[in-house]
Chains A and B, each alone.
Chain A
């Protein structure tokens, strides 16, 4: 192994701004690479990332080991509330807990249920676009990509409209902890304070619905809980927190990344304007090409061997979906954006039992938003430089993104 030639700084600006050459080098020469700086293994080939996402030997619970090994006894006591909440987040659990928690969402996020959310999304997209005027330049994040999915998911859950700002504040504090790219000593305290307030707020909504169920996600989840003796009130409240969180950050990034990518491709854009029915496949291609997450983390549940390397139980493994999505062994012409690519088995929503719960909602939101934007503002263009945020897992464009409406 000649690992010395591999750049282990995943936040190196050259890699962050254009990860493709780095991914290609890893896939080709170091498919199972020990990254000394990150202290973990890195998988980059489609087949390996796919298999890892489907394998019970790769554990999703990286919270327990963090809590038990990285924190002092005193910190463990102080942050127990945070641990308990994070530990019941479905994304950080393995079977059998995962199977039980995932059941909560089974009926809340089916493609059919999402159709009932379509009206909310259409109304909100229209509301936003009605405020825009031709010739103006907007801040894509602040004026659309952030508030749209945040308001949609808050409304679906059943939050009161006047409380949306509070929810966004809490969600941000929790997301900052989860994406923990940069060391910030206050983030645990902020996240814990947010979790406590967030949960107390959701408990109010919960109590209001015990005798008066409504047509919202909180009520649907409560109905599932009533019929399933294994599910608790806490499970429902924590599930709402994770839904609100996931609905904020990732859909925002999906909208920004895909729109920015598309606006840079005049030919493909013209094609989509003429063929709005192809937006579905174009969106999948956007997910493959510049998905909101470059990678996800797993822990080795057992000792294993891969490409001649020995992975030991408990070691962490970075699964690079971003690299897998451009693996020429899986995708023809992977460095080209093909709006009609089909099938498109990208891994941007993960795969296997942790496949994104909100995928049908995210797909619907983005499709409605893009088609309506292209229809009303066919000449829009990005007027700011596209710079990618320095993050290990997330792939998002630095704000602000100036979108000229044409």
Chain B
């Protein structure tokens, strides 16, 4: 069985345009950096918030990284 565990929420700074869709929908999870890009700032990994933000992002800059503990 493949156990998928969320290990990180990434915002690609080369793609992020600072539209703020993630920040306005989940202000307790995402925030703007001084350079205008958004990052995931919460210490807990909130998969449903991250998934929603991933879907709302107009430039597909957000990705969820999973640790796939699959057989080798």
A interface vs B, CB < 8 Å? Answer: 50-51, 54, 99, 102-103, 106-107, 109-112, 343, 345, 349, 351-353, 355, 357, 359-360
Bound complex: CA of A50 vs CA of B18, how far in Å?
11
Whether the Cβ atoms of A352 and B58 lie closer than 8 Å is no
Closest A-chain residue to B14, C-beta based?
Answer: A343
Which one of A106, A112, A343, A359 lies within 8 Å of B21 (CB-CB)? A106
Whether the Cβ atoms of A50 and B36 lie closer than 8 Å is yes
Give the top 4 A-B pairs by smallest Cβ distance, nearest first: A54-B36, A343-B14, A355-B19, A355-B17
Which one of A99, A110, A112, A345 lies within 8 Å of B24 (CB-CB)? A99
Closest B-chain residue to A112, C-beta based?
Answer: B55
Whether the Cβ atoms of B56 and A106 lie closer than 8 Å is yes
- Please tell me if B60 contacts chain A, counting CB pairs below 8 Å: yes
Instruction: Known A54-B36, A106-B25, A352-B36; judge A111-B18 contact (CB<8 A).
Output: no
Q: How far is the CB of A230 from chain B (nearest CB, A)?
A: 13
Interface of chain B residues 33 through 62 with chain A (CB within 8 A): 36, 55-60
Which one of B14, B20, B55 lies within 8 Å of A345 (CB-CB)? B14
Whether the Cβ atoms of B24 and A111 lie closer than 8 Å is no
Whether the Cβ atoms of B58 and A111 lie closer than 8 Å is yes
For A111, list chain B residues within 8 Å (CB).
57-60
Whether the Cβ atoms of B58 and A110 lie closer than 8 Å is yes
Whether the Cβ atoms of B24 and A355 lie closer than 8 Å is no
Whether the Cβ atoms of A107 and B58 lie closer than 8 Å is no
For B57, list chain A residues within 8 Å (CB).
110-111
For B24, list chain A residues within 8 Å (CB).
99, 102-103
Which one of A54, A110, A351 lies within 8 Å of B56 (CB-CB)? A110
State the main secondary structure of chain B at its contact with A.
loop
For B58, list chain A residues within 8 Å (CB).
109-111, 355, 357, 359-360
Closest A-chain residue to B60, C-beta based?
Answer: A111
Closest A-chain residue to B34, C-beta based?
Answer: A54
Closest A-chain residue to B18, C-beta based?
Answer: A352
For B14, list chain A residues within 8 Å (CB).
343, 345
Interchain Cβ contacts under 8 Å between A and B, 22 examples: A50-B36, A54-B18, A106-B21, A106-B25, A106-B56, A107-B56, A110-B56, A110-B57, A110-B58, A111-B58, A112-B55, A343-B14, A349-B17, A351-B18, A351-B36, A352-B17, A352-B18, A352-B20, A352-B36, A353-B18, A353-B19, A353-B20
Closest B-chain residue to A113, C-beta based?
Answer: B55
Bound complex: CA of A107 vs CA of B58, how far in Å?
10
Q: How far is the CB of B6 from chain A (nearest CB, A)?
A: 20
Bound complex: CA of A357 vs CA of B19, how far in Å?
9
Bound complex: CA of A351 vs CA of B16, how far in Å?
9
Bound complex: CA of A102 vs CA of B56, how far in Å?
11
Bound complex: CA of A28 vs CA of B24, how far in Å?
37
Bound complex: CA of A357 vs CA of B20, how far in Å?
12
A103, A353, A360 interface centre (most CB from chain B within 10 Å): A353
Closest B-chain residue to A106, C-beta based?
Answer: B56
Q: How far is the CB of B7 from chain A (nearest CB, A)?
A: 24
For B55, list chain A residues within 8 Å (CB).
110, 112
Q: How far is the CB of A388 from chain B (nearest CB, A)?
A: 27
For B60, list chain A residues within 8 Å (CB).
111
Bound complex: CA of A233 vs CA of B55, how far in Å?
25
Which one of A51, A112, A352 lies within 8 Å of B19 (CB-CB)? A352
Extra pairs beyond A102-B24, A351-B18, A355-B17 (16, CB < 8 Å): A50-B36, A99-B24, A103-B24, A107-B56, A111-B58, A112-B55, A349-B17, A351-B36, A352-B18, A352-B19, A352-B36, A353-B20, A355-B19, A357-B58, A359-B58, A360-B59
Closest B-chain residue to A51, C-beta based?
Answer: B36
For A107, list chain B residues within 8 Å (CB).
56
Q: How far is the CB of A342 from chain B (nearest CB, A)?
A: 8
Closest A-chain residue to B12, C-beta based?
Answer: A343
Bound complex: CA of A343 vs CA of B32, how far in Å?
21
Q: How far is the CB of B52 from chain A (nearest CB, A)?
A: 10
Bound complex: CA of A106 vs CA of B25, how far in Å?
10
Bound complex: CA of A8 vs CA of B19, how far in Å?
32
Bound complex: CA of A355 vs CA of B24, how far in Å?
14
